[in-house]
Amino acid sequence: MIKKIIAAVVLVSLLTVAIVQAMDKKTEAPETTSQASANNEGLSIGAKAPDFELKTLTGETVKLSDLKGKKVMLNFWATWCPPCKAEMPEMEQFSKQAGDDVVILAVNIDPQLDVQGFVNENKITFPVLLDAEDKVNEAYQVLSIPTTYFINSKGVIKNKFTGSMTLDVMKDFTEKLK
């Protein structure tokens, strides 16, 4: 009986030590504050937008750095995502109203699915880019979709919106870009 009690005490002690050590690892501070915000929130506002090159559904190549001088609304989405589907009609409407100095790029993160069917069904006319290797998604540290980055004409991230956007939000954020 005493052996069972001792074994139980040792087991509980070991379990407690393991839990405490696991909790300590989770609460260790990252090396820098900017690293903490990047890990938790994606790229920070004021950061230079990482350059990338992706193909569109039509096979054309789009390179972000080629768009310098234009305002860019960079949207990350997927065909299976309900909030992404909800914002697409307003993004299409915005693309028709936006001036020549605004470019909408919709980066699809699930190109193995029927993206072309989705685009046809929703009558989307703005460029849909295919992130087949997930490199751009990773570079922009997208944690949830839809996520949209607003990049000014100098290639700097000026704002970020997570979730489904309305037409008014799109207009407001792009008007604030220089």
Give per-residue pLDDT as tens, 72-122: 999 999 999 999 999 999 999 999 999 889 999 999 999 999 999 999 999
State yes or no: pLDDT of 171 exceeds 60: yes
Q: In whole angstroms, what is the distance from residue 73 CA to residue 54 CA?
A: 15
The domain limits of the chain are 2-30, 43-175
- Tell me the CATH class for 43-175: alpha beta
Concatenated DSSP letters for 78-131? Answer: -TT-HHHHHHHHHHHHHHHHS-TTEEEEEEES-TTS-HHHHHHHHT--S-EEE-
Write down the pTM of the prediction: 0.75
The answer, yes or no, to whether residue 29 has pLDDT greater than 50, is no
